[in-house]
Every structure is written in C-alpha cells, then in structure tokens.
Amino acid sequence: MSRGKSPALISSGHRCDNILLMKNRAAVILAIAILACFMGACSRKASFREYAVDKVCDTEPRVRITKITVTDKDTRVNFKYEYKSRSASLQPGTKEALTLAPPGNADALTIVADGSGRKYLLLRVEGIPTLPDHVFLQEGSVVEFILIFERLDDTVRKINIVEKATGMDITWQFLNIQLQ
C-alpha cells in the first residue's frame, strides 16, 4: 500500500481510469466515422446534366418538351401542352380530355435510347392526371408537367420518348431527341 491509500481506493481509481479511457476511445471512433461519412459525401461527384430542349411532338403538335434533366437518381422531362381545340375532327357531343397512362402501365410513355434500344421506364408523373383521371381544358389553356423516368446512362446522347397508348386517339411520339 503506497502512500497510505487503501486497497479499495486504488482498485476503484483504476476502474474509473478504464471507464474514462473507453469513453474517450468511443468518442474518437465516432468522430472518425462522422468525418469519414462527411468526406465521402463531399468528395462524391454529382452527376447532373441539364439539356434545354424545344422538341415538338412528332404526332401531336400541341405538346412539346422544354427541358430534360438527368440527376443521380432519375431523368426528368419537362413538357408544355397548349390546348387548341380539334373540334372539327371530333364526333358531335364529345370532348377532349388530357390524361396519361400511369407508371407501370404497358401504355405509359417510355424513353428508348437510340442505338442500343434500351428502355427507361416512367416512374412518376407531376402536374397532369393519370388514368383513370383526366382533365378537360379550356381553349388556350397551357399545362406544364414533368415526367420522371429511370436515370439515363451517361453515354446516351439521342433518345425517343414514345407512348403505346392503345385505345387513345393520338399517341405521343417524340423522335430523335438530341442530348447536347
């Protein structure tokens, strides 16, 4: 027993030192883990490509693509629909309705990469109703909406956006869209 300390105090003192050492190690490990996560997130290069596009639909001149954005997660295509009545071609007593086939539907719009033929599926629709819902528009109405598709590969430079839409009067076909 050195310097008059009792055995119980010496033993208790070593336990306190061990507990403090373990807490300090845990704090250091936590700090390193947080720093590593932060550094990884900051050093990751974001893959973001935006293309200004003015592509009129090849089969329906009232709709056009205005922008295509490829993010880390998806491909966003901005559309603008300017309603002008086609009443001369409609049967009497019928109205035109605007709607799209929803994601997962075989008739939904799809992006097809030119060359490889790889298909990128529709994931989400924003700003326009999907079947079975629809909207009737007034003459001169403008509807802007966004379709979100699977992310395009970085090497894709030319695409088609096509709609199967069996049973629709007009299917939308946007052909030969250059991504430059």
User: pLDDT by residue (tens digit) across 71-94?
Assistant: 999 999 999 999 987 665 555 545
- Whether pTM > 0.85 for this model: the answer is no
Query: Which distant-in-sequence residues (6+ apart) come within 8 Å of 110 by Cβ?
Result: 119, 120, 121, 122, 149, 161, 162, 163, 164
Task: Give the model's pLDDT for residue 179.
Answer: 95
